[in-house]
Amino acid sequence: MSLLEIRDLSVEFPAGENTVKAVSHVFFNVREGETFGIIGESGSGKSVIGLALLRLLPANANISGAVLFHGQDLFSLRPSELRKIRGKCISLMPQNPAGALNPVLKNRLQIEEVFEERGIDKKEGMKKSLRLMKKLLLKDPEKLCDLYPHQLSGGMRQRLVACMSLSFEPELLIADEPTKGLDPEAKEGAVELFTKIKKEYGKTMLLITHDLDLALEVCDRIAVMYAGEIVELDKASKVLGTPLHPYTKGLVRAQPRNGLVPLSGQSPSRISLPEGCLFHERCRYSGIECFRKHPEMKNHKGGWIRCHFQSLQ
């Protein structure tokens, strides 16, 4: 049974006279209890999906499609109903924990307010949060609450933000690039953190990341995004172990331990997308068909792939 169903989601931003197509016609389901990963390079539209789900995009974004949570369309909710979903059912773990914490408010207040709108006693909530903080490898959480965000280290801030997003036990956690901007050591910590969250928590997670190691470690299924489209979707071990789409292959090969072979070229301009397959300019397998026709998603051995030549591979 899928907890979250995304149907034909497209997001466009006006840019002067043009529009930037950030996300186009994305479909996927997130099943209850699973960890679903969205990977792709910077600017592929991953984070936009995450923010669009909670309607946190700037007002000028044009969003179309439907997002069904428990069968209820989030895009048709009134603001007050949406707030209930935001506070209670779906939580967002934002990228850049440093920016997500308000610099002039003490950590305690920022943790407490999570419970405020839900009618939960603050003290009870705080007790739970403190336990959670201990679990998430934060030492001395009581003391930490009386500090300001700038007095914490990057890793501590990330844990704190993680704790805020988890402490009201959401049904769905959207983690938006949790390892962005962290040094390798803190990144390892993040992998550990997420494995821990998954084990202790067992709730449904939507993990948006460009960190393939983290994705492989934590995710059950993965969608690969390129230029605002999903190009491949399958079990994590299959996508990252035996990638089918040329772009996923390139991503995997670009990993340091796989030889650090960079993908040549750049992703296309999102104002005027190329005809045919969006990846054909950079694709080493591309044939005549790839220039002419935009490939549709096709079922292939249980997974989905957007390529004309899946049989070749």
Partner 1 sequence: MILTLFAVCALTFFLMNVIPGGTAELVLKHTLVGLEDSVSKEQVNQISSRYNLDDPLYIQFFRWIKEAIVTGDIGTSYVFKKPVLYLLALRLPATIQLAGVSMVIAILAGVSMGIYSALKENRISDHILRIVTLFGVSMPGFWVALLLILIFSLKLKLAPVAGYGSLENLFLPAAALSLHSVAAVMRVTRISMLETLGQEYIRFAKAKGLPLWKIVSRHALKNAMLPVITVIGFQMGSLLGGAVVIEKIFAWPGIGSLLVDSISARDLPVVQGCVLAIVTMFLFVHFLVDMLYTHLDPRIRYG
Query: Hey, which residues between 152 and 211 contact partner 1 (CB under 8 A)?
Result: 161, 164-165
Please identify, using beta-carbon distances, which residue of 118 and 123 lies nearer to partner 1. 118
Which lies closer to partner 1 via its Cβ, residue 107 or residue 248? 107
CB of 105 to partner 1, least distance (A): 7
Instruction: Looking at residues 21 to 80 of the shown chain, list those that interact with partner 1 (rule: CB under 8 A).
Output: 51, 54, 56
- How many of the chain's residues bind partner 1 (CB under 8 A)? 32
Cα(222)–Cα(207) distance, rounded to whole angstroms? Answer: 9
Interaction between residue 4 and partner 1 (CB under 8 A)? no
Least separation in angstroms between residue 170's CB and partner 1 is 10
Residue 117 or 289 having the CB closest to partner 1: 117
Nearest to partner 1 of 103, 184 (CB atom): 103
| Nearest-10 Cα torsion for 136, 137, 138, 139 | 140
- Which of residues 15, 66, 105, 288 is near partner 1 by CB under 8 A? 105
x-marked contacts with partner 1 along 115-144 as a string, rule CB under 8 A: -xxx--------------------------
Residue whose CB is less far from partner 1, 45 or 250: 45
- Out of 23, 100, 175, 224, the only residue in the binding site for partner 1 (CB under 8 A) is 100
| HSE, side-chain direction, 13 A CA sphere, residue 110 | 22
Provide the minimum distance between the beta carbon of 61 and partner 1 in the complex, in angstroms, as a whole number: 13
The piece of 96-104, 192-200, 208-216, 295-303 that touches partner 1 (CB under 8 A) is: 96-104
- State the minimum distance, in angstroms, from the CB of residue 82 to partner 1: 9
- Smallest gap from Cβ 116 to partner 1, in A, equals 7
Residue 151 C-alpha from the chain's centroid: 28
Binds partner 1 (CB under 8 A): choice among 103, 184, 259, 262: 103
Task: Please give the residue ranges that form the binding site for partner 1 (CB under 8 A).
Answer: 51, 54, 56, 83-88, 91-92, 94, 96, 99-105, 109, 113-114, 116-118, 148, 150-151, 161, 164-165
